[in-house]
A and B are shown apart, each in its own frame.
Chain A
Amino acid sequence: MKVSRAYQSELESEEGKGVSSEQIEQLHRRFKQLSGGQPTIRKENFNNIPDLELNPIRSKIIHAFFDNRNLRKAPNGLADEINFEDFLIIMSYFRPIEPNMDEEQLERCRKEKLRFLFHMYDSDSDGRITLEEYRNVVEELLSGNPHIGKESARSIADGAMMEAASICVGQMQPDQVYEGITFDDFLKMWQGIDIETKMHVRFLNMDAIALCH
């Protein structure tokens, strides 16, 4: 609980709301529960969440929790373990948009959320989603459906890549090759699409539920 208090003020000043102190306490309780009382969480701890097992992109999501880029620590690499502060940082990516945000804040918020997704796709941290990476993600995404083969997943990824290329680049020299989706391209693709409902979790009434797990 001390930990949470310490970061609470920091978070609220720095991140600016979205996660209230009450919610932080609850998240902290959950954190303790996941870590088994330890101050840090390792990847293995996530394996104990039964509901997560069915998630087709589970490994990617867990990975994201340990990604230094998401933790704003280093431009690449993976952390071995994260403490509660890091945990909160990751969670704060999902805070809902506040009604009193101005345009600039909204834009920044949106960018951050998209960056999270981008990092998940860009597994080698080179700032580009290459075709190989994209295929990988799509394969995982569709792995939930046993009827869709790897092959179709690949062609879908290829198709999506082409679409991305034509959206982002438009014109190319004949011998030019589209290397991969950069973050700017990524933003371009998201232009005009609302993510209001897509990247938000309301950390509500978690009390009872968190404890019953």
Chain B
Amino acid sequence: MAFRVRGTTQEFRFPVWGLLFLALWMLPRVLGVEEIPGHNSHENQGFQIVTFKWHHVQDPYIIALWILVASLAKIVFHLSHKVTSVVPESALLIVLGLILGGIVWAADHIASFTLTPTVFFFYLLPPIVLDAGYFMPNRLFFGNLGTILLYAVIGTVWNAATTGLSLYGVYLSGIMGDLSIGLLDFLLFGSLIAAVDPVAVLAVFEEVHVNDVLFIIVFGESLLNDAVTVVLYNVFDSFVSLGADKVTGVDCVKGIVSFFVVSLGGTLIGIIFAFLLSLVTRFTKHVRIIEPGFVFIISYLSYLTSEMLSLSAILAITFCGICCQKYVKANISEQSSTTVRYTMKMLASGAETIIFMFLGISAVDPAIWTWNTAFILLTLVFISVYRAIGVVLQTWLLNKYRMVQLEIIDQVVMSYGGLRGAVAYALVVLLDEKKVKEKNLFVSTTIIVVFFTVIFQGLTIKPLVQWLKVKKSEHREPKLNEKLHGRAFDHILSAIEDISGQIGHNYLRDKWSNFDRKVLSKLLMRRSAQKSRDRILNVFHELNLKDAISYVAEGERRGSLAFIRSPSTDNIVNVDFSTPRPSTVEASVSYLLRENVSTVCLDMQALEQRRKSIRDTEDTVTHHTLQQYLYKPRQEYKHLYSRHELTSNEDEKQDKEIFHRTMRKRLESFKSTKLGINQTKKTAKLYKRERGQKRRNSSIPNGKIPMESPTRDFTFKEKELEFSDPEETNEYEAEEMSGGIEFLANVTQDTATDSTTGIDNPVFSTEEDQSIFTKVPPWLSPEETVVPSQRARVQIPYSPSNFRRLTPIRLSTKSVDSFLLADSPEERPRSFLPESTHM
């Protein structure tokens, strides 16, 4: 039904595709004709300036064109948001494939393009599975591993057996008519049709957004059941070729043994290669540019190796991804990590597109179609019914042991989400027609089953999920508190298990993480990476970064960063950071500086909302501006081509030099002040520490832009921070930043020029604790000039007069220039600021 509806909608696009396709199709034929005379005349006429060699490029050319068509199709689908929100992409692609297949067939009367098992298993499947493994939420996965394994192993065996046997039973009753199949053929068919398909599940569930637990169970099952499928398929395949009467009990036992060998062996291969991969990436510091390649090559090798040893290749590459992700992500540079992420997603999504399109195309081939209504309908009924029964039975069993119960609704979604896909199709095509007499019937049934599950169930699962009110996954921004409490809970739980003396889930996890920290991480991670790999730190870091970006973005939007300084009285959050501290009482200004803990207030709430709504665009804009902003003139020089290096450090050196020169000047001037260099250095430390206190969503931007962030694609480099003598200007708020900030927002900059991949971020560095908290506004770094609007929190009550210096700035509309103006009395000219390039 749904099929037909889709078909009609597709008609609208049909002319376009038809034309395009016909053009594609005609091209080789026309050219092919032309090519022959050209070739013939070649010898006669001597050297030819231009020759036309279609056959020379034919194969890769056609492949590339197909990929292009599939990708273009994706663009077209997404032109209409309405269609893609209702119809899963996989279904659209299948329909498109059917149409294209129809055209090809109409033009040629042979089905020349089909999805061959070799292409599928060697080139299309691995990227998808690797992607799944590499981005697997490990904790969730291992937390539900028991459940997943039960569904994957028992569930699949159950499905295969019941479907096969029931079909056989019905066959004996004679409804299907006269077929030359025996029990074993039915079981073989059952085993290949039983497995839930990872590609189809991913494609459909990614658009549905059910809650994490449900998703991981269905998806995990679809990945892990591969071993079962492979074994069942191989066992029955060999049984069929042996002949039913020659199968002995020994063979059955062998089959069971081979299940364990195949699954555990595949897993082991995966883990070994993951270990290798992690180890290799530990040493790729100097070959950054090929770093991402290792991830793909070694994972792919794990797939091929286990295929070679006839173990479960899917399991191997899944576990390779799962196991290596932590270490690889820590080891490779941020740029490489982004590359890996995008390449993997691109390959996976491309492969998926091609798979579904070619499933459609392959179906248009009269040669493979053998229609048997009873067989096909019954197969559909049986796989759905037995899947449901299996799920209910297993869930009943599991709920006795699970902490979080799987409810009826979950079970419905799980049964309904049992989609079949290309794996089944590829397996059925692999069958040998000589041994399996009714191969064509199996093939056509499989195609119908795949189309039915992907198109019909894929289409209806979204409304079903909404109608049943299945708990959806909510995407929340990570909160620091949540992470901290989560960590506390982990420790508490494992402690309780220790105390009550039992080995539970938490106990094992705790032991594992200890082992990981003590042995594995040390072995597999770069030293610099080891310290930065704490989840909490990462979240903290990320949040800080978001803050920083949103500040700048907001500043961009308003055309000035002045807004940050305007103290708005709404949404102020004050935390008293001046808690008892043992620090010595120091005289005068420095003491004041420390004691007058102050913060800048700004309307972060509003900002936050803005940020959320248009964050992406703003980020891009910011990013772009940052990149162009400050050092454009010098950036122009640096386009030196190098195959092995992405950036030359040329301009960095320049910056450094300029910076040093300026610094020297500044320092000299400081000598005349009372505090001298020593003090400035101390204060610089304050700044650094301070930065850590700034938090997103708080209205106290008393930090500054995170610097040297290895996890970002742009970097703020802060060379040094200095204050001028506060006394000089009569106000402690008048500390100014020297120009000693270098603000690099260079996407391609190699942060990892060396060990800095770790945290060079001053916040995370252990400094002598001076318990000083001075607030420094975050725009310090990007804008070079500073008028920190300090607000004495405890000792000095809030009063607008504290901000009087800011008045001109607040009125200003042009950002940097007005800053410069406002500060110009005490500022020395900043020679390194390319003033003219702003805006």
Contacts and interface: CB of A to CB of B under 8 A. Distances in A.
B486 interface: yes
B693 interface: yes
Given A94-B493, A155-B693, A141 B579 contact: no
Contacts of B798: 174-175
Interface in A136-161: 137-138, 141-142, 144-145, 147-152, 154-156, 158-161
Contacts of A159: 480, 540, 543-544, 692-695
Interface in B518-559: 530-532, 534, 536-537, 540, 543-544
A91 B576 CA distance: 36
B654 interface: no
Contact of A120 (B482, B488, B496, B544): B488
Contacts of A170: 571, 573, 605
Given A151-B766, A174-B567, A158 B692 contact: yes
Nearest to B793: A177
A209 B572 contact: no
A145 to B, nearest CB: 5
Interface stretch (A72-80, A103-111, A199-207): A199-207
Nearest to B758: A147
A61 B491 contact: yes
A152 B576 contact: no
Interface string B671-711: 00000000000000000010111111111100000000000
Interface stretch (B239-247, B500-508, B725-733): B500-508
A179 B576 contact: yes
A152 B489 contact: no
A192 B557 CA distance: 33
B601 interface: yes
B489 A198 contact: yes
Contacts of B692: 151-152, 154-156, 158-159
Nearest to B540: A156
B496 A158 contact: no
Interface string B601-621: 100110000000000000000
A56 B510 CA distance: 11
Contact of A199 (B489, B502, B572, B695): B489
Interface in A152-210: 152, 154-156, 158-167, 169-179, 189-190, 192-193, 195-206, 209-210
Contacts of A178: 573-576
Contact of B502 (A155, A171, A193, A209): A209
Contacts of A174: 567, 569, 572, 574, 601, 791, 797-798
B801 to A, nearest CB: 13
Contacts of A127: none
A196 B766 contact: no
A185 B536 CA distance: 21
Interface string A116-145: 010010000000001110000110011011
Contact of B531 (A65, A145, A198): A145
B500 A30 contact: yes
B794 interface: yes
A133 B488 CA distance: 14
Given A149-B766, A175-B797, A210 B572 contact: no
B570 interface: yes
Nearest to A146: B531
B501 A30 contact: yes
B763 A152 contact: yes
A136 to B, nearest CB: 11
A195 to B, nearest CB: 8
Given A117-B488, A179-B576, A210 B501 contact: yes
A65 B495 CA distance: 11
Nearest to A194: B404
B695 A163 contact: yes
B698 A171 contact: no
B123 to A, nearest CB: 39
Contact of B689 (A155, A162, A165): A155
Contacts of B697: 162-163, 166-167
Contacts of A176: 572, 574
Interface residues of A, number: 79
Contact of B492 (A51, A61, A213): A61
A18 interface: no
Given A30-B500, A144-B517, A209-B501, A165 B481 contact: no
Contacts of B493: 94, 198-201
Contacts of B534: 142, 145, 147-148
A99 interface: yes
B577 interface: yes
Contacts of B689: 151, 155
Contact of B572 (A57, A94, A145, A172): A172
Contact of A200 (B403, B517, B544, B791): B403
A1 interface: no
A33 interface: yes
Interface residues of B, number: 82
Interface in A42-60: 46, 49, 51-52, 54-58
B575 A161 contact: yes
Interface in B460-518: 474, 479-482, 484-489, 491-504, 506-507, 510-511, 514, 517
A27 interface: yes
B736 to A, nearest CB: 24
A123 B121 CA distance: 59
Nearest to B518: A54
B769 A58 contact: no
Given A166-B573, A177-B793, A99 B504 contact: no
A162 B481 contact: no
Nearest to B691: A155
B469 to A, nearest CB: 16
Given A170-B605, A200-B403, A209-B501, A164 B481 contact: yes
A144 B791 CA distance: 36
B35 to A, nearest CB: 65
A174 B572 CA distance: 7
Contacts of A195: 489
B89 to A, nearest CB: 31
Contacts of A202: 401, 403, 504
A198 B486 contact: yes
A50 B280 CA distance: 36
A49 B507 CA distance: 13
B633 interface: no
A177 B537 contact: no
B575 A165 contact: yes
Contacts of B474: 192
Nearest to A138: B484
Interface in A70-113: 91, 94, 96, 99
B764 interface: yes
Nearest to B604: A166
Given A161-B575, A165-B573, A137 B488 contact: yes
Nearest to B599: A162
Contacts of B405: 99
B765 interface: yes
A155 to B, nearest CB: 3
A190 B576 CA distance: 23
A20 to B, nearest CB: 14
A189 B144 CA distance: 27
A209 B503 contact: yes
A175 B699 CA distance: 14
A197 B693 contact: no
A177 B480 contact: no
Nearest to B692: A155
A68 B721 CA distance: 49
B582 interface: no
12 contacts: A58-B495, A96-B403, A120-B488, A141-B487, A147-B534, A148-B534, A152-B692, A162-B693, A176-B572, A195-B489, A198-B493, A201-B493
Given A152-B765, A165-B698, A197-B404, 10 more contacts: A51-B498, A51-B511, A91-B496, A149-B766, A151-B764, A156-B692, A166-B698, A177-B575, A178-B574, A198-B489
